[in-house]
Structures are given as structure tokens and as C-alpha cells.
């Protein structure tokens, strides 16, 4: 009896002493006609004629007072399937709160579905005090026209050189 009580107290002390490091929670969801309450209870709704279509990110946070007092800025970076990126910044005015971000699907040919995202809390001194990365988030590799043209220039200068012999080629 005594050993089970001491094990329980030891387990509880580890749980109570743990630090809460990740101050964010992010949920991603699809928004369409089924998101409207009028679709489920069959009431008239003018939004049924042109229902919202897209994706939404719901970001919630809970910061300790010591971190919140650093005057935080919420920075959301979203990458889409059409190879575009959007960054949204807004001040964090409450220590515990949430924000929603809606990304409507374009009716054109562009695919505005969310591929990946990163949420960061940045202090007024520029330090990152909290972050949440989507599982596919990675550093963006920029392969623009400038980078491509310099690579072609290097490749053409190398290919115009005469072939040099090596030890293996010698008889």
C-alpha cells in the first residue's frame, strides 16, 4: 500500500513540475456549404446561394504572464499548393485568446488549398518566444530566375572546358 502511494506521488510530482513549452494550438478545417447551420436545420439562408468555400486556421494560445509581457506579435506564414505564400501579422493583446484566418478558394485556376503553415510569437526585441510548425513545414528553397540563370552560366562555363585526363585514363 505504501509503495503504491509513493509511486503515485512520484508520478504526480513529475506531471505537476513539467513545463508547458508549446503555447499554441492550431486547427485546420474545410469551410463549405455544410459549415452553415442552415444546411443542417433547413432554414432559409441567403448565404446558401454563394456559400463560403475554402480553408480556415484556428489559432489559440496561452502564454505565461512573464512571456506575454514582452509585447508579442503573432506571425502566421501560410504556403499554398499553387506555390504562393502569405504572411499575416497581428499583435497579441491577451495572454489567452484565439484568432481565425479564412483562406477562400479562388474560382479561377489557382489552387489556394493550404499546403503547410507556421505560427510564431515574436517579442518586441525580435526573439521567437513560441512557435507551431505544421508537420510539412520546411525552409523555403528559392529557385528563382536569378538562381537558375547563374546555374546555367556556371554549367556552360564548365562544359566548354576540355576534358582533363586522370590517372585511371592513362595506359
pLDDT digits (tens, 9 = 90+) for 56-112: 999 999 999 999 999 999 999 999 998 889 999 999 999 999 999 999 987 766 778
pTM beyond 0.85, yes or no:
no
Mean pLDDT of 10-36: 66
Confidence band, pLDDT 50/70/90 cuts, at residue 162: low
Decide: 78 and 86 in contact? Cβ < 8 Å.
yes
Q: Percentage of residues in the chain with pLDDT exceeding 90?
A: 44
Phi, psi of 21 (to 5 degrees): -85, -45
- Cα(136)–Cα(134) distance, integer angstroms: 5
> Which domains, and CATH codes, for the chain?
18-151 (2.60.40)
Q: What is the secondary structure of 40-69 as a DSSP string?
A: HHT---GGGTS---EEEEEEEEE--HHHHT
Q: Percentage of residues in the chain with pLDDT exceeding 70?
A: 70
Q: How many CA atoms lie within 13 A of 74 on its CB side?
A: 27
Amino acid at each position: 500500500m505504501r509503495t503504491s502511494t509513493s509511486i503515485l506521488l512520484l508520478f504526480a510530482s513529475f506531471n505537476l513540475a513539467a513545463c508547458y513549452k508549446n503555447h499554441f494550438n492550431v486547427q485546420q478545417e474545410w469551410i463549405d456549404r455544410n459549415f452553415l447551420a442552415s444546411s443542417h436545420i433547413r432554414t432559409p439562408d441567403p448565404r446558401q446561394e454563394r456559400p463560403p468555400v475554402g480553408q480556415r486556421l484556428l489559432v489559440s494560445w496561452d502564454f505565461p504572464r512573464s512571456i506575454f509581457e514582452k509585447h508579442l506579435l503573432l506571425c502566421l506564414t501560410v504556403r499554398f499548393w499553387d506555390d504562393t505564400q502569405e504572411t499575416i501579422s497581428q499583435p497579441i493583446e491577451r495572454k489567452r485568446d484565439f484568432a481565425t484566418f479564412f483562406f477562400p478558394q479562388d474560382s479561377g485556376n489557382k489552387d489556394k488549398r493550404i499546403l503547410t503553415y507556421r505560427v510564431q510569437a515574436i517579442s518586441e526585441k525580435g526573439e521567437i518566444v513560441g512557435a507551431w510548425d505544421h508537420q510539412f513545414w520546411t525552409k523555403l528553397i528559392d529557385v528563382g530566375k536569378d538562381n537558375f540563370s547563374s546555374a546555367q552560366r556556371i554549367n556552360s562555363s564548365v562544359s566548354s572546358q576540355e576534358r582533363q585526363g586522370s590517372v585511371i585514363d592513362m595506359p
